[in-house]
Amino acid sequence: KIKGRNTLQLCFECCIVYPGWTSINRGVLICDECCSVHRSLGRHISIVKHLRHSGWPPSLLQMVQTLASNGANSIWEHSLLDPAQVQSGRRKPNPQDKVHPTKSEFIRAKYQMLAFVHKLPCRDDDGVTTKDLSKQLHSSVRTGSLETCLRLLSLGAQANFFHPEKGTTPLHVAAKAGQILQAELLVVYGADPGSPDINGRTPMDYARQAGHIELAERLVECQYELTDRLAFYLCGRRPDHKNGHYIIPQMADSLDLSELAKAAKKKLQALNNRLFEELAMDVYDEVDRRENDAVWLTTQNHSTLVTERSAVPFLPVNPEYSATRNQGRQKLARFNAREFATLIIDILSDAKRRQQGKGLSPTDPLDLGIDDDQHDYDSVASDEDTDSELTTQNNNNTMDSSDLSDGPITLQEYLEVKKALASSEAKVQQLMKVNNNLSEELRRLQKEVGGVRGPTGAFGAFSMYEPGAAPGPTAHGPPVLDSLVPRLQPLNTASSFSFKRSSCVPKPEKHGSGTDSDYDNTQLYDASVSMGRSSEEEGRGEPEEGGEGGEPDPTLPCTEDVILKTEQVTKNIQELLRAAQEFKHDSFVPCSEKIHSAVTEMASLFPKRPALDAVHCSLRLLASSASRLQVECRKAAPSEPGAPAVDYQLLTQQVIQCAYDIAKAAKQLVTITTREKKQ
């Protein structure tokens, strides 16, 4: 109580009575004057919503009310509660203070600078502190103590933290425990409702299995919050997510589009998924700004509050973004209603297309001259472009995970990996031609000096990779998927390996054997491989190529089965690379065994003597890479006393290379199977 009033009837910043707004991620109630300052900070600092005139999911409103009632404000004003601060002259503003500079400076210090938050004792390694806090968060979300979790988040705990021992994120724990308010708080701080646990189950799966149906349905809504918000902005309706996830409004005169607008739409479709997601998030922020503007302007005393210093005419600068992207975000405010609606409809349509795995029609251009290093927003509106600039973000954006929300990894995920190789494949093809010519010359010379075994060994056309062949790729292989499989040099980069959607428009596949465009840098470790049989084939008793073993079998497995097995291989690779990033070399051997088992199961789907050369080569690469991975991982086992020290950095590079080869072979099998089934 303050002077006879409940604190919930007072602004948490300046004590003005009856606050009408709230900061969702801070858990505080604010008045109209302080709201203008909060909005000017940007949504990355404070997510503002009106308590009565904005749309509220019931559980989200309950979460904010619970935080406000249980002392969330004391988290942000911790040091101000110290009596010594009163003597030093530091105090909160009062209702009579001016908005600028008194209230605005206090609010910026409180939330932007975190000047009053409790500071943790200094440590030499900040990463350990963050990990400890995240583990505490992982444990705390099973309880109903929202303020404890908010305190941990304010100190740096990560909402998307993946617990290495338990194999889950905090959102999995909250979903299993039925803590819907904790789930709301985690999602506000960036937790991904579609993130898989170590076994591939999402928080939604946990909630359903535990019988928390309402929570499961709410998590689905959170998964599609971005597209739901855009659709509601245009037509006032949201999908129910039982009969579909998208509502795409249509403009009455949508058929009358200018050539410039049509070209802009095609350019938007050609954006890779990361750029598209960034553009969608920026449009989402602009929708939020316009909606809050409409509410704010209709609830204010225009004679005193609507001034240049209290208005938010465009999206505030986010220092985590580049200057180009911030400029582009601000340009969104220049779009008139029709232009902005057209952009939203295009984004909704393309979001649906991307999730359903549909490519562009044959008449749509694939190469529109987009340079991923230079992006100008002024390219997607009907009169101006609006591309986003390439920016690296954490795994906490809505669009990034919605593609995988309601099922296993889609076929489009694997087809899009092909696009990630496109820029390097042209160079690879040239290299292959050169090496083929060198191989032919080598064979001719070999015959002249007495003859050596020809190209009828295990790799056929890939005989240049055999010992003594013509110069080819280096032992470490080409870095054609560095964006998907980091080399861990130095070993502090993110190393999740989940077939990230690197491009939205896969280039047409060539209907050939695949040997002229796919890089096989298999290293041969044992005599059986060098004589034409991988260790995997030898274990199955598969005859050598060219030997007697029956007629080739043209049958191929079901595409869905191949994708399912590939998904399992990918998850095991994720576990291995996570161990590599965390320097857990003792986990290499068990991880490699899991991968080898998953690879064996995947290979068993295919006939032992496939008729297609591309399938044969991909299966060989898959098996030999899994065997090589086991060999490399065994090197991480404790060595005998006096043995040479293991170079773990080099070993990690070799392990990642093997994982890359396994993933590439699996991708090739998915692509080939899909292509042949369509024919």
Render pLDDT for 477-494 as a digit per residue (tens, 0 to 9): 333 333 333 333 333 333
Can you list the residues of the chain whose pLDDT is less than 50? 1-5, 255, 303, 305, 360-411, 413-415, 417-418, 421, 423-424, 451-548
What does the pLDDT read at residue 585? Answer: 83
Structure-block tokens of residue 405: 């929300």
CB 94 within 8 A of CB 31: no
CA angle 631, 667, 429 (to 5 degrees): 90
Model-level pTM greater than 0.85? Answer: no
Q: What residues form DSSP beta bridges with 610?
A: 553
Whether residue 484 contacts residue 502, with contact meaning beta carbons closer than 8 Å, is answered with: yes
**pLDDT at site 445:** 67
* β-pair partners for 10: 17
Please write the tens of the pLDDT for every residue from 345-390: 999 999 999 988 765 443 333 232 223 333 333 333 333 333 333 2
Cα 375-224-193 angle, rounded to 5 deg: 100
End-to-end CA gap in the chain: 74
Rounded distance between C-alpha atoms, residue 55 and residue 3, angstroms: 32
> Is residue 21 classed as helix, strand or coil in its secondary structure?
strand
Q: Provide CB contacts within 8 A for 254, sequence distance 6+.
A: 342, 345
Q: Which H or E run contains 28?
A: strand 28-30
CB 501 within 8 A of CB 403: yes
> Are residues 109 and 115 in contact, defined by beta-carbon separation less than 8 angstroms?
yes
Whole-angstrom Cα distance, residue 234 to residue 249?
A: 7
Task: Give the DSSP letter of residue 120.
Answer: P
Please give the Cα distance from 671 to 679 (Å, whole number): 13
Give the Cα separation of 514 and 652 in Å (integer). 29
Distance CA 577, CA 583 (A): 10
Q: Measuring CA to CA, how many Å separate 676 from each of 101, 492, 511, 602, 617?
A: 68, 41, 9, 18, 16
Q: What is the pLDDT of residue 357?
A: 78
d(CA 394, CA 401): 12
Per-residue pLDDT at 302: 52
What pLDDT was estimated at residue 470?
31
From CA 55, how far away is CA 50, in angstroms rounded?
8
Tokens of 499: 């077939």
Provide the edge-to-edge strand list for the sheet that holds 28-30.
28-30, 21-23, 48-50
